[in-house]
Chains A and B, each alone.
Chain A
């Protein structure tokens, strides 16, 4: 028998080996992981063959006791330590969290940094940590199923998530040791799973009613390009709210007091939930709570949930208007999320759009499957030439101006990546600093919008009020994450911030947690860091050599060409000899700077060639 081969750490035997990539649907109620195997996406099951992982974590005094279905069993007996629906709390501030107080039966406390944490038997736990536990569990499941470490994951988020909520999701993945290839909007993932990207040109409405969130997205699919035209919805409306209105109806029928203890709340909610599910294919259901017995009919249920469904339909109408479309211009409607199983939802959505919604793929799994397909493209296993996602930001980004008003810099539904700049000036004579308060939201008053971050621009030369010119630039990347730069035009004083949620974890906290959970020995860390830089250096050398060979003579003069050659040679030497990752990193950075102009010219040249052959004459003939 031949011996199994094991390669040196960090070096794969074949450079273009297939990579392990997954799609993760981190849901409010349930989470899933999916991967593409033999060309088709499939969700991965645990050892018991269960695909869904309830997004529930149970804590006991030493930490996490159990997760998923096992943890959900503690719902009634130990509600305060059984954390569910934490997705609602992701990226939220203490004041938001308090407003959920009557919906989520947890005790909250602020930590030293004023960030909200949940009080459990294991101490204070942040929503990000709980999400990281769920992600880690799913990643572990995938690694067993795929037989190797994960190279990356696409994690889905509601299209409605603001910057803070997206950042919190990314932080949770980092904490779980998962490389995020891309945050993907859930509705977009669903459209990918349905393979609608094969269509010539069509408009798709994705109606996603999950446990805790409602999203409506209007997409245009055209020869492989997914363009999100608009998104809308409600980040605090879902099937859980159906359960709550039913529970409230039961409470009134039973004649229970309005203030319930956590155990009573759980009992009512679970009774409501199972009644709702049974009414999916029955006309009436018997209900027993304490010593009360009653019946809930489907008609009664419909009248209870109709106001909630109507709210979703109004949001759908609004998103269509945002996209500049009428209902009859929608070609397809896709149903996503477990709550679309409720027959009334299906019926009313069908009426609104005047067509039968797609619901052939399991509405719980469809998002994870689409994410897996996208992960496969991004990790490089599948050529992505036939698929591209163009996303929009869901909420406007702006900053606070005098009088507590918001000045919007980037409007909602703007396609990302996007960069916008605007000039501001000083309010007082001799003012040398400016406080920049970054906000997200649609309302006019800063106080009504979400505060994302604050930073200061200092060293403005003293001038009369209104004379300074401060250019503030907002840059949003393809994941929808924001960075802000402020610069005084005359003096060049500059300040920059990567926006992190003010109530999430700061970078140090994440680093500390990572160290807690992995406790790498220092040498290991160093070796790993060096290896990472060597890989980066190799890639840069390879890319740049190829670029020089292809375009170097055409785009550079002799001196520039020579300069790049020398820089590359120096990088190769440092890469082969240095054992200090920082030195190598500096060398990489410097070559990066030197080659930037070359890269810019190449990009410029290829813009021209991308549209080459389409002369202005053609264009005019077409008009």
Chain B
């Protein structure tokens, strides 16, 4: 644990992959550098080594995985970028007061709750997912502009909205699984 926290405070996740910090991440570069780091530090590389090396390898790759996971997910990357600006963007820190947005969320959720009444619930779920993804993408564009303009107050609100959609997309998946189990 100690090594990971030490590295965490020393470097930011972008530096770990030698990438410039910012919203835009070159996915191909990120992927190839991630694989390169993994190839060097994965515990399987240390399977004939002693326990200390094995444990360090596990901790180091855990950190590399966390960094990769953060940078490749739009929501986590947005939260992390705010964190780097010392804005607490964790789940409970901010709730949006945009009433239009909240109404829209309620509508989405009601539709999701009634999904079983549809003739073809799987198709309805697909449509809902495409719709939610479109909104989610728009929010990401909003965030990018706000972050670039150092408008962290609005960026924080956008992240809160992104959370709603990330959660909604996840619930669509779960609902689909439930329907499949019937």
Chain A residues within CB distance 8 Å of chain B:
181-182, 222-225, 227, 311, 314-315, 318, 321, 377-378, 380, 384-385, 388-390, 414-420, 442-443, 473, 475, 477-478, 485, 536, 539-540, 543, 592, 595-596, 599-600, 603-604, 606-607, 610-611, 614-616, 619-620, 622-623
Smallest distance from the beta carbon of B37 to chain A beta carbons, Å? 6
Q: Does B137 count as interface, using CB distance less than 8 angstroms?
A: no
Given known contacts A388-B45, A442-B177, what 19 new A-B pairs fall within 8 Å (CB)? A222-B32, A222-B35, A389-B44, A417-B58, A417-B62, A418-B66, A540-B50, A543-B53, A595-B52, A596-B56, A610-B36, A610-B40, A610-B41, A611-B37, A614-B18, A614-B33, A616-B20, A619-B19, A619-B26
- What are 28 A-B contacts defined by CB distance under 8 Å? A181-B47, A225-B39, A318-B173, A321-B173, A380-B47, A384-B44, A388-B35, A388-B38, A388-B45, A390-B38, A417-B61, A419-B1, A419-B4, A419-B59, A419-B62, A442-B177, A540-B50, A592-B50, A596-B56, A600-B3, A603-B57, A607-B16, A610-B37, A611-B17, A611-B18, A614-B18, A619-B20, A619-B29
**B residues near A600, Cβ cutoff 8 Å:** 2-3, 6, 56
Contact B33 A611 (CB under 8 A): yes
Q: Does B48 count as interface, using CB distance less than 8 angstroms?
A: yes
**A residues near B52, Cβ cutoff 8 Å:** 592, 595-596, 599
**B residues near A224, Cβ cutoff 8 Å:** 39
Smallest distance from the beta carbon of B160 to chain A beta carbons, Å? 19
Contact B62 A418 (CB under 8 A): yes
We find that the number of chain B residues with CB closer than 8 angstroms to chain A is 52
Contact B69 A414 (CB under 8 A): yes
**B residues near A419, Cβ cutoff 8 Å:** 1, 4, 59, 62-63, 66
Instruction: Report whether over half of chain A's contact residues are helix, strand or loop; otherwise say mixed.
Output: mixed
Q: Does B143 count as interface, using CB distance less than 8 angstroms?
A: no
A388-B50 CB under 8 A given contacts A311-B180, A419-B62: no
**A residues near B158, Cβ cutoff 8 Å:** none
Q: Does B80 count as interface, using CB distance less than 8 angstroms?
A: no
Q: Which B59-88 residues have C-beta < 8 A from chain A? A: 59-63, 65-66, 68-69
Closest to A227 in B: B35
The docked-state distance in angstroms from the alpha carbon of A485 to that of B16 is 26
Partner among A181, A390, A418, A619 whose Cβ is within 8 Å of the Cβ of B42:
A390
Q: Which B77-102 residues have C-beta < 8 A from chain A? A: none
Closest to B57 in A: A603
The docked-state distance in angstroms from the alpha carbon of A615 to that of B33 is 13
Q: Does B117 count as interface, using CB distance less than 8 angstroms?
A: no
A623-B36 CB under 8 A given contacts A318-B173, A417-B65: no
The docked-state distance in angstroms from the alpha carbon of A611 to that of B30 is 12
The docked-state distance in angstroms from the alpha carbon of A220 to that of B44 is 18
The docked-state distance in angstroms from the alpha carbon of A418 to that of B4 is 11
The docked-state distance in angstroms from the alpha carbon of A419 to that of B56 is 12
Closest to A324 in B: B72
Smallest distance from the beta carbon of B4 to chain A beta carbons, Å? 7
Partner among B1, B19, B20, B50 whose Cβ is within 8 Å of the Cβ of A539:
B50
Closest to A611 in B: B18
Instruction: Report whether over half of chain B's contact residues are helix, strand or loop; otherwise say mixed.
Output: helix
Smallest distance from the beta carbon of A610 to chain B beta carbons, Å? 5
**A residues near B68, Cβ cutoff 8 Å:** 415
**B residues near A385, Cβ cutoff 8 Å:** 39
Q: Does B7 count as interface, using CB distance less than 8 angstroms?
A: yes
**B residues near A420, Cβ cutoff 8 Å:** 66
Q: Does B24 count as interface, using CB distance less than 8 angstroms?
A: yes
Q: Which B2-28 residues have C-beta < 8 A from chain A? A: 2-4, 6-7, 16-20, 24, 26
Smallest distance from the beta carbon of B87 to chain A beta carbons, Å? 19
Q: Does B49 count as interface, using CB distance less than 8 angstroms?
A: yes
Q: Does B148 count as interface, using CB distance less than 8 angstroms?
A: no
Closest to A476 in B: B62
Contact A475 B62 (CB under 8 A): yes
Q: Does B174 count as interface, using CB distance less than 8 angstroms?
A: yes
Smallest distance from the beta carbon of A182 to chain B beta carbons, Å? 7
A314-B18 CB under 8 A given contacts A415-B65, A419-B62, A478-B44: no
**A residues near B59, Cβ cutoff 8 Å:** 419
Contact A543 B18 (CB under 8 A): no
Which of the listed residues A321, A414, A543, A600 has the most CB atoms from chain B within 10 Å of its own CB? A600
Smallest distance from the beta carbon of A447 to chain B beta carbons, Å? 16
Closest to A610 in B: B40
Partner among A378, A380, A596, A619 whose Cβ is within 8 Å of the Cβ of B18:
A619
**B residues near A377, Cβ cutoff 8 Å:** 44
A225-B38 CB under 8 A given contacts A418-B62, A623-B26: yes
Closest to B33 in A: A611
**A residues near B57, Cβ cutoff 8 Å:** 603
Contact A478 B42 (CB under 8 A): yes
The docked-state distance in angstroms from the alpha carbon of A378 to that of B61 is 18
Q: Does B51 count as interface, using CB distance less than 8 angstroms?
A: yes
The docked-state distance in angstroms from the alpha carbon of A536 to that of B51 is 9
Smallest distance from the beta carbon of B33 to chain A beta carbons, Å? 6
**A residues near B32, Cβ cutoff 8 Å:** 222
Contact B43 A607 (CB under 8 A): no
Smallest distance from the beta carbon of A176 to chain B beta carbons, Å? 20
Contact A314 B180 (CB under 8 A): yes
A603-B56 CB under 8 A given contacts A390-B42, A623-B26: yes
A604-B44 CB under 8 A given contacts A311-B180, A543-B53: no
Partner among A478, A599, A622 whose Cβ is within 8 Å of the Cβ of B26:
A622
Smallest distance from the beta carbon of A80 to chain B beta carbons, Å? 31
The docked-state distance in angstroms from the alpha carbon of A615 to that of B42 is 24
**B residues near A623, Cβ cutoff 8 Å:** 20, 24, 26
A388-B36 CB under 8 A given contacts A478-B58, A603-B56, A619-B29: no
**B residues near A182, Cβ cutoff 8 Å:** 44, 47
The docked-state distance in angstroms from the alpha carbon of A388 to that of B45 is 8
Q: Does B142 count as interface, using CB distance less than 8 angstroms?
A: no
Contact A417 B45 (CB under 8 A): no
Partner among A442, A477, A543 whose Cβ is within 8 Å of the Cβ of B174:
A442
The docked-state distance in angstroms from the alpha carbon of A623 to that of B68 is 18
Partner among A314, A315, A478, A606 whose Cβ is within 8 Å of the Cβ of B40:
A606
1/0 contact string of B132-163 vs chain A (CB within 8 Å): 00000000000000000000000000000000
**A residues near B1, Cβ cutoff 8 Å:** 419, 473, 485
**B residues near A616, Cβ cutoff 8 Å:** 18, 20
Closest to B60 in A: A603
Closest to B59 in A: A419
Smallest distance from the beta carbon of B178 to chain A beta carbons, Å? 9
**B residues near A622, Cβ cutoff 8 Å:** 26, 29
Partner among A321, A378, A604 whose Cβ is within 8 Å of the Cβ of B7:
A604
The docked-state distance in angstroms from the alpha carbon of A616 to that of B39 is 21
**B residues near A388, Cβ cutoff 8 Å:** 35, 38-39, 42, 44-45
The docked-state distance in angstroms from the alpha carbon of A416 to that of B60 is 11
